Amino acid sequence: MKIPRIIFLLQILLLFFLLITSSCNRTTAADTSFVAINNEGRNPRLVSEKREPTLDTADYNKRMLSLSNNDRRGRWPVKKAPYPLAGALLPYNRIIAFYGNLYSKRMGVLGELPKEAMLKKLHYEVARWQAADPSIKTIPALHYIAVTAQSSPGKTNKHRLRMPFQQIDIVVDWAKPIHALVFLDLQVGHSSVREEVSMLDKYLKMPNVHLGIDPEFSMKNGETPGTKIGYFTAADINDAIAILAKVVRENKLPPKVLVVHRFTQRMVTDYRNIKLVPEVQVVMNMDGFGSKILKKSTYLDYIYREPVQFTGFKLFYKNDTRSNPNGLYTPEELLRFTPKPIYIQYQ
């Protein structure tokens, strides 16, 4: 009598176990089906836990204060400037750029020297700056004039010449093995910032490609480029900012850097109306050549006293040393400026 009871109890236990197992399997299948339908095979818990990169604002503020060299007049750091998107280059890196055009040996060291000699010299300058200021990473850049102003009107009557994309591709390729940034510079002539920037859309979608615009050759009153110094209004600069910001948003990129050249008062008008946005970091680059005293006064008059966001400083290997072999500023000397330039351009 005991054996049948034991068998009966074992059968009950087995049936109970099978019911539990079946229920668990159905739950797993249902969960898997839900994931596949709603998240294309991804676990919704993992998706919800994914975090967008964030900016450490305390660290950013500290770095900006350091760049200001403790400006006693309170112009720097710039007040009410928006924080950048995460992944911003500035103020976490100092950019050392070689400027020029591959078709000319007279427009800058990029184009004047053969590729290998140029890259070797760039590496040397990057190392000098890194040694002078170990607190910030120093990175190389190739600043290529992609649109050059022309004395002749050309077929479009716009006094500007666009470089072929094949030439831009060469510079982009040179930058890759040395992990350099690329800046594409515009001398618009009788064209506009909006028209010329829009032509570079495919390059600006690349994370390492940024923009430079040169008001010296923006001839709004019909003059021939080179006969007088041109200018940009805040609206021109805002056009570039708006296009870059749109590229950043649509392609989920880190912020772009916009370099604006300047060496006179009138080259940039109504600077207070330049609209800063989280997607774009604006560098006002002191672009004049001459003696150290002249260059410093230009920096103070037009860059320091009219703060926008970040500052740059251009060094001319030839023009700055023409009357004085020691006329080229050293990294140590420029680091004593207020504010410290974070973009350095060699021509």
pLDDT value of residue 184: 98
d(CA 170, CA 180) in angstroms, rounded, equals: 13
> Is 179 buried (19+), middle (13-18) or exposed (0-12) by CB count in 10 A?
exposed
Residue 34 phi/psi, 5-degree rounding, is -60, -45
Rg (Cα) of the chain, in Å, rounded? 29
pTM comes to 0.85
pLDDT value of residue 41: 46
pLDDT value of residue 17: 47
Residue 142 phi/psi, 5-degree rounding, is -110, 115
pLDDT value of residue 324: 86
Token pair of 261, please? 């050249």
pLDDT value of residue 12: 52
Token pair of 339, please? 């504010």
d(CA 111, CA 115) in angstroms, rounded, equals: 8
pLDDT value of residue 323: 84
- Any idea of the CA torsion for 14, 20, 21, 24, to the nearest 10 degrees? 180
Q: Are 133 and 144 in contact (CB under 8 A)?
A: no
The stretches of 51-114 forming alpha helices (DSSP H) are 57-67, 109-112
Token pair of 208, please? 């390492």
Please tell me whether residue 257 adopts helix, strand or coil conformation.
strand
d(CA 315, CA 345) in angstroms, rounded, equals: 6
- Enumerate long-range contacts of 200-205, CB under 8 Å, 24 or more apart: 200/146, 201/247, 203/168, 203/172, 204/243, 204/244, 204/247, 204/256, 205/247, 205/251, 205/253
Task: Print pLDDT tens along the chain (347 aa).
Answer: 444 554 454 555 544 444 444 444 433 333 333 223 233 444 444 444 456 678 999 999 999 999 999 999 999 999 989 999 999 999 999 999 999 999 999 999 999 999 999 999 999 999 999 999 999 999 999 999 999 999 999 999 999 999 999 999 999 999 999 999 999 999 999 999 999 999 999 999 999 999 999 999 999 999 999 999 999 999 999 999 999 999 999 999 999 999 999 999 999 999 999 999 999 999 999 998 999 999 999 999 999 999 999 999 999 999 999 888 888 999 999 999 999 999 999 99
